[in-house]
Structures are given as C-alpha cells and as structure tokens.
Structure 1
C-alpha cells in the first residue's frame, strides 16, 4: 500500500474529514522519517490537507498549510535533482496562491490576499486570477490596476458581465466597453446585451430617465421579458430616481419569478418599509433569511421589519450584522439602515458618522443627504445642514427631492422662509405630485397665515391624487376656518380611502362629538328662552 496514493484517493473521493484526520499524522511521521515520502509528495500532501481545511471553512489552518506547501515547492524547484515526474506531482503555484487568497479574504485580510495574488507573474495569471485581482484592487482603492485587471478578463471572456459592471462602476465609457467586448462591431443577435450594457452605463452615471427607458423597453419588447436581472435593474433605477412606487412592481415581479435570488431585495425591503407594508415586509425578510443568513440583503430586510415594528434595539443589532456581512467593502443599504435607526434613537452624532461613511462610496444617494440634514437640524446646527443640502443639489442635481430638502432647511429660519417657498414651488413645477413638497408648502402657508392658499393647493392635489393624508389635512384646515360640515366631508373621504386609519376615525369622532355638544348647547339656550310655568304664559 503506497501512502501517498491512499491520501490522493481520499482527496479524489472528497473525503475531506478523513484527510484532516490522516494527513497531519503522515506529516508528523515524515518529520521523523524523511524516507517515508518523497519531498514532492510531502508538499502535495500539505496541499491536500489545506484544501480539506478550506472545504471545512477552517481558513486559518488552510492558509498555514498552503504557505508551507508553497515554501517547500520553492525549495524543491531550486534543487537540481527534482525531475519532471516530481514536478508534475505538485499543484501549480498559481492554484496554491489562488486558494491562499480565498483564505485571506475569509479572514478579512484583503491586503494579504492582494499580495498573494500579485506574487503570480503577469504572464501566468489566469482569467480567474485577474478577476480576483480586479476585485481586490477595488477593495483597496486602487482603481487603475483594477481597470487593467478587469480588461484582461474581458479580453479572454468578452461576456463576463461582472467584470463589465465593475468597469462601468470604475468609469469606463460605453463606447470603450463596446469596442473592448465586440471589437467595435456587435452582432445583431446580441443587440439586447448591448442595450442592457448601455442601460447600466446610464444607471451608474445617474442618468436615471435614460436607464429606465432602456430597461423598460427590454422588459416590454425584447428577449429579456420577465428576466430577473433586467427587472432588478429596472426597479433599482426607478428607486434611485425617487420613484419608489414605480420600483415596487418590477422588484416584486423579480422576487416572484426567482424567490431564491437576493439581488435587489434589500431595495425592495426599503420600499415596503417606506410604504408601511409590514405584512409583505415580514414575509420577504423571513424568505430571504431562509435563503441565506450570510448575505446583507437578508439582514437589511429583517432590520427594516423591526424598524417598522419600532423594535429599534433589535433593528440596530440586525443593521450591524448586515454591515459586517459587507466587510471589507461597506454596503450602502446596511449603512443607510443603521444610520436611520440611530437617527430614530436620537443618537445624532453616531447616525451622522454612518451616513457620512455611506457618502464616501455613494455620493448619489439622496437618503444619505436627507439623513445627515435631519440629524444636523436636530442638533440645531443649521449651517452644516444647509451645506449638506446644497451638496445634494451639486451631486444629485436639481430634482424635486433635492429642492425640497434644501427648502426644508431654509424654512427653519424666518429670514430665508420666502426663499424656501420658492424652492418648494420649483419642486412642484418639476413634479406636481411630489407630496413631501406639498406638505412642506402647506405648513409654510399656514404659518404665514395664508390658509386660503393652503386650501387651494390641497384641493388641487386631491383632484390629482386623492390620499387619506391630503383629505385629513384639508379637513383640519376647514376646522380651523370654522367650517365643520366641509371638515366632516373631508374626513369621511379620507376614511373611504383608508377605512382602518385610526387618526381619521378619531378625528371624525371628535368632530361629531363637538357638533353634538354644539347642538345640545343650542337646544339648552332655546329651552332657557321658553316660559317656566302656565302663569308666565298667561301673563304674556
């Protein structure tokens, strides 16, 4: 029985736990008796043992044995006596280094992982190695070598979509990508691929309207109808553009088509939380956790579920767990979630820290600017809030959301209130249905004593998009004007839209009680005017 062949047989049959039990004893025996195995077989046994530890996710032990095997391999390669047969027995250095990099990544050691792969000569780097190098360069903030590495991947595998998306995020233009992928002449049967790539370029350039148009066209009139990847891209684009309601349908469609896919489900959780759809959010979170408990999307969804349930301490723990899933690269949605929860807990400085961390990697995300502004306003630091709101105009552009955010800061100071109203009106000119601007403008009109303008704006909005809240606010304004009948009419309209709305029901009850009390008071006054006895009647 040849010992090395037995170890190889165990490995070929994937009996990794048996190798972990046997190989260390074999290596100890060879230390005491070097003639038990030739040096090349010892090195290969170390690789088998390292691979087995890697399969069992014992990354530290695996890395130690890979390094020992690599060192022994180098020693053997320098010896003149090592023949071709011994060399063939050894795993390639490239393969050993690639496995070592996996161990370092699992141990959160991205720099060491990068150094290990950089030790492979450029001519010997496979497509897989270049792909890993590209990712590591991005992790360590080295953009130029990352671009070079991903380009090498695409030269060998032109439709490596992950590499293509990485290059888009790194700022490579659409024209350069098409030239690199198709040599400048894409075939007609791959036109849908070209369009999808073009849509991704628009998306990462924050040109959301153009991106949405392309993704919607691919969904409606091409081979990508009901494709999960395209649906997620469509939903993500609409969400980033501020159209949460529009993003909901494609993301829900994607989830129904592939319930095991996690991509974009963190954004779906955000939308469901914003829409207060607690039942759907809980179902989504439980499903994602059952799919994977090591992906940030699952913990983001569960975190928003607890945030919506006002269990903030639990939500904060889940948000932290989501953040740790993204190490070493920070995830945007986990950071926004954690910042939002800290904001709800009134831990303003900590919330600002997390929002600012997100701002470094995603300066286009409106939610980050909004969170920082609200925190600064809570800390009564209006100047910093103004600077951040102005920065959103610069990085995101002039949109209804950024105009409204900037106006919300201006309205805090009586000196700039008039300017704030101008920005709100500009926001509504761009999107007449943008309700956050509507509510702020109504408040400013009311504070200025311009109740008639507030009623006029509300009436116009209700004609365009009747909601419970709009009817309710209009009812409140009618009460302040003393018009109880119109107020009751608005509350009833609000209740028809949301029959279980507690605030509306309470408002109706208060108003009806007030009307009854008023009527009873009026009847009491009339009764006081009536004669008390027959004698008084006769005297009259």
Structure 2
C-alpha cells in the first residue's frame, strides 16, 4: 500500500481504490496490526459511501466486490474488540440497521450486550440468532443462563420454517435448563434418559453433562466415574465440563488422575491454548500438590481471563486466595461467582465459609439463609446453616438449632458425611454416646472411611467396650495407611517428574501475574509455567 500511495493509486478507478484499501486492511488485520487495520477499513468505508452516492452506472459497486458495508463494519468491530475497545465495538455493531443484521451480527451484538450487563438486549439478539439457526446449541445454553425459560426456547427452535424436526431436542433443552438451575436432580434424570437413546449411548457431551449435574447436586463420588468415561471416550478432546471434572477430582483428592491430565494438557497450554478448562486442570493440580500458590494462581488467573471469569475459574481462584489467608479478596471473588451462578451451591458455601473465616458472622448467616431460599431444606443447606450457627457456640440457642438442623439433614440422607460428623460430635459433647454410635454406624452403610471408624472407636472407648473400640481403630489405621501410601506414591511420582522434566518443563513463570483490568498478558504464556518461582 505504501508503494501505491499517494500518487500511483490515483491511476485506479474508485472501485479499484476501494478494493485495494480492503485488501490492505485485511492483511494488516491478519498480521494483528489492529489499529492500522481499523484506520484503513474506515477509509474503505468512506470510499464505498462516496461511490454509492455517485449515480454513474460505471462507478457503482456490487455486494460481491469486497463484501458489503455491513461486512466492513463487522471487520471494524473485530478490530475494536481485539484492541479491547468494547464500547466502540458495540457502537459499530449498533450502527448496522436491524434489517441488515445477520445471525453473525446478532451473535456479536449479543456478546457485547452481555459483556455490558445489558441482559435484555443480549437476550433479544440471541433469540434472533436462534430464529435463523435453531441448532445453535451454544446460543441455547447462553439463553438458559440468561434465565429464558426452556419452554420459550423450545417454542422458538421448533417453529423455525424448514428447520429439521429433532425429537430429542426438547428433552436436551429442558435438561440443560435444569442443569443451570437449583433443581439439578431433574437434570440428572433427563440426561440419563438421553443416554438411554441409541444415538446418545456413548456421547461424551451428554455423559459430561450428566457428570456436571451429579457434581452440582453434591454427588461427587457418583460424578467421578461418569466424567472418567466421558473424557476417556472423548477422542476429539472437547473441553466442555473438564473444569468441573478437575474440581471433582480435587474434592475427592484424586491427585494421580489430576497429574495424568496435567501431563496431557501441559503441551497444549504451552502452545497457547485459548480454552480455559486446561488451565483450570493445571491450576487444581498445582493447588493440590503442596499448595503451590504462585503457580496455581497464575493458571487460575489465566483461566479467568480466557473465560471472562467463569464460575469454575473464580472458585479455584477464591480457594487459592483463602489458602493464602487473603480473606477479603476471596470474599469478593466468591461473591462474584455466587452472583453469576446463583444455582451453584459451591459458590454460596464458599462465600459463607469465607465470611466465617474472616469473623463476619452476620454475613455468613445471611449467606446461609440465601442458600435456603434458593435450594430449600436439603442436606447440604441444612449442614451449611448448622456450621454457621456452630461458629458461635457461646450462644446456647445456636447449638440447639444446629442440632435440630443436622438431625433433619441426616434423616434426609444418612450418608451425608459433613452432617454426620458435626452431629456425632454434638452428641459426644452431650455424652449421648449411643446416639453418636447410631449416626456413625448408619453412615458406614454408605461409605467406609478412616474418620468414621476412628470416631466409632473413640465412642466405644468412651463406653469401655474395648473390643469394638480396637476393631474400629484397627480398620481406621489400615485405611489411613493405605491413604498415606497412596499419597507417598503421588509424591514420589511428582519428584520423578521434576527430575525427568516431564512436568516441570519449559515455560518459566518468573512471578505471579498482576491482576489488572486486562487480567493476564498473553505474552506471559512464553514463561515457564511449571518451574518454581522461588529464587
């Protein structure tokens, strides 16, 4: 272009000059020179308008010559978006008349309105996309998260003229709607129903969704094998649900499985992966292994940047900040997570626990009460409420109310261990050893672990039943030895990986990324993300 300007280009017709500007702008855009590309696109747009005003037939432009005016505005929008000038990007898209807005334009507008928290405008744009492309599944999920009812979405997609009629689509939409609601047990049933259909019997996407529904419902142990099957069958390596799988692995202390996925995904992240899920896997692995805060927060921050603060990325980041005793920042992070995903119990529970840790008891009680309003009296909400009350044991009414709530939780689910432990301890404090033994023994029908056997052993010791006490302490010791042996094996694997460079390889992370409005600098992916930051 510099060769042609300013004199040689005068030899061309206006149409040719316009085309040259578009080609030049396109090349600048491809070379990531977005500000320069934007200026040239603007000149091209001015030239096009000038040509359109000229009524000479020989100087008219057809829509096939370097696209339409709408195409140019879309490129201008992309330039502004790449420069993170979102206000200008939105203004450019809004300047396109409604009748000229294709599904692509409406999708971009929806994203910009969504970013600006203008949910009603975003919803309207996404609905227009769906009317043109009824099988735009990601748009369906976005509309569900924007609180559009499943029935309304089904009505739109099933009434698009000449659209294919798919019998399972209403069930899938309803299942997804339940997944992003407090009633995740319904989602579990619907996804199981879909998996029973021959076309979905081995579908990684449906299995992953079922795993997410089980996890959101608090059935972590049931979710693990479902996730494992989903991602072992996922030959195309789609990442949907992998962030929740990582959280589930961490919650169940499955460090070896996290390590396996970290090894697998590290080269992908080194290559500049733009999906947040692999970065969350790496973050959980670093957080679970010796609490490597600097590395874990880097990965969490990267995931937040790439996902524009997804719930899983925020929860990971909040947990890391809690571990670092940065309670105030953690409260802010968990607040954002609970506001963006009010259907996620983990976000509300984490916020309540952060308030308790920071001795904000009134806020903790208010948060626990909000869990009741959203989810109703479930074992999890009852246990959360009780744990908040027990944070102030000096109030006699607190213990009484907590015990009543925990007894109700155990009646609803005798295997809900957080409630079992708290209630058994209350009974032991009251010297009601028989009731403690009853609750603990009932819980053993669902799961056998060293803590249950140890507590039972202590109870039988209190009753001077030394044979039963010895029996349960022996089982607890055996389970504890197995657990420690597994942990030691994981540590040995980590040490071997460090020596061989299998995990602690390439991309050096010099320091924790700064948390600015722009979050993570993309160039920092060239740093050693695994090597220790300590000097």
Distance 1:78 1:187 in 2: 40
Q: Which residue of 2 aligns with 1:240?
A: 216
Q: Which has the larger radius of gyration?
A: 1
Tell me which moved more, 109-118 or 54-63: 54-63
Q: Which residue of 2 aligns with 1:358?
A: 337
Pick the structure with more helix per residue.
1
Distance 1:91 1:175 in 2: 38
| Deviation of 1:80 (Å) | 4.0
Alignment partner of 1:206 out of 182, 185, 206 = 182
Q: Which residue of 2 aligns with 1:514?
A: none
Q: Which residue of 2 aligns with 1:50?
A: 25
Using CA pairs under 8 Å that are at least 6 residues apart, name the structure with larger relative contact order, 1 or 2: 2
Q: Deviation digits for residues 247-291 of structure 1, max 9, x if unmatched?
A: 222222221122511111000000000111111112223333444
| Deviation of 1:391 (Å) | 1.1
Measured at CA, do residues 186 and 396 of structure 1 come closer, stay the same or move farther in structure 2, by a change above 3 Å? farther
Q: Which residue of 2 aligns with 1:315?
A: 296
Q: Which residue of 2 aligns with 1:301?
A: 281
| Deviation of 1:81 (Å) | 4.6
SS at match of 2:239: coil
| Deviation of 1:168 (Å) | 2.2
Cα contact 2:106–2:129 (8 A) shared by 1: yes
SS at match of 1:282: helix
Measured at CA, do residues 300 and 442 of structure 1 come closer, stay the same or move farther in structure 2, by a change above 3 Å? same
Cα contact 1:299–1:322 (8 A) shared by 2: yes
1:447 matched to 2:429? The reply is yes
Alignment partner of 1:493 out of 459, 468, 475 = 475
Cα contact 1:178–1:194 (8 A) shared by 2: yes
1:412 matched to 2:391? The reply is yes
Q: Which residue of 1 aligns with 2:521?
A: none
Instruction: Give unmatched runs, 5+ long, in structure 1.
Output: 1-22, 506-540
Cα contact 2:9–2:17 (8 A) shared by 1: no
Distance 1:58 1:479 in 2: 75
Distance 2:26 2:355 in 1: 52
| Deviation of 1:220 (Å) | 2.1
1:91 matched to 2:72? The reply is no
Cα contact 2:191–2:206 (8 A) shared by 1: yes
Distance 1:229 1:504 in 2: 31
Measured at CA, do residues 503 and 89 of structure 1 come closer, stay the same or move farther in structure 2, by a change above 3 Å? closer
SS at match of 2:307: coil
Cα contact 1:30–1:36 (8 A) shared by 2: no
Tell me which moved more, 313-322 or 490-499: 490-499
Distance 1:501 1:207 in 2: 35
Alignment partner of 1:73 out of 36, 42, 48 = 48
Tell me which moved more, 152-161 or 57-66: 57-66
SS at match of 1:96: helix
Q: Which residue of 1 aligns with 2:351?
A: 372
Alignment partner of 1:174 out of 139, 150, 154 = 150
Tell me which moved more, 231-240 or 154-163: 154-163
| Deviation of 1:337 (Å) | 0.7
RMSD, aligned α-carbons: 2.6
| Deviation of 1:189 (Å) | 6.5
Cα contact 1:178–1:186 (8 A) shared by 2: no
Cα contact 2:276–2:303 (8 A) shared by 1: yes
Q: Deviation digits for residues 216-275 of structure 1, max 9, x if unmatched?
A: 011123421111221122111111111112222222222112251111100000000011
Q: Which residue of 2 aligns with 1:280?
A: 257
Distance 1:482 1:67 in 2: 87
Distance 2:378 2:99 in 1: 49
| Deviation of 1:497 (Å) | 4.2
Cα contact 1:472–1:491 (8 A) shared by 2: yes
TM-score normalized by the length of structure 2: 0.83
Distance 2:151 2:344 in 1: 26
Alignment partner of 1:470 out of 452, 468, 477 = 452
Q: Deviation digits for residues 303-350 of structure 1, max 9, x if unmatched?
A: 1111111112221222112111123xx211111111111111111111
Measured at CA, do residues 445 and 49 of structure 1 come closer, stay the same or move farther in structure 2, by a change above 3 Å? farther
Q: Deviation digits for residues 482-502 of structure 1, max 9, x if unmatched?
A: 555433311222344454234
| Deviation of 1:84 (Å) | 4.8
Distance 2:121 2:92 in 1: 16
Measured at CA, do residues 57 and 439 of structure 1 come closer, stay the same or move farther in structure 2, by a change above 3 Å? farther
Cα contact 1:30–1:37 (8 A) shared by 2: no
Measured at CA, do residues 61 and 473 of structure 1 come closer, stay the same or move farther in structure 2, by a change above 3 Å? farther
Distance 2:203 2:445 in 1: 37
User: What does 1:124-203 correspond to in 2, within 5 Å?
Assistant: 124-183=100-159, 190-203=166-179
Cα contact 1:138–1:146 (8 A) shared by 2: yes
Distance 1:119 1:186 in 2: 31
| Deviation of 1:400 (Å) | 1.0
Measured at CA, do residues 109 and 187 of structure 1 come closer, stay the same or move farther in structure 2, by a change above 3 Å? closer
SS at match of 2:348: helix
Distance 1:304 1:60 in 2: 38
Distance 1:324 1:464 in 2: 40
TM-score normalized by the length of structure 1: 0.82
Instruction: Give unmatched runs, 5+ long, in structure 2.
Output: 488-535
Distance 2:161 2:223 in 1: 34
Tell me which moved more, 299-308 or 58-67: 58-67
SS at match of 2:342: coil
Cα contact 1:335–1:358 (8 A) shared by 2: yes
Q: Deviation digits for residues 80-126 of structure 1, max 9, x if unmatched?
A: 45735555534311112222222333333332222211111111111
Distance 2:162 2:435 in 1: 57
User: What does 1:2-81 correspond to in 2, within 5 Å?
Assistant: 23=1, 25-26=2-3, 29-81=4-56
Alignment partner of 1:251 out of 206, 216, 227 = 227
Cα contact 1:208–1:238 (8 A) shared by 2: yes
Cα contact 1:495–1:504 (8 A) shared by 2: no
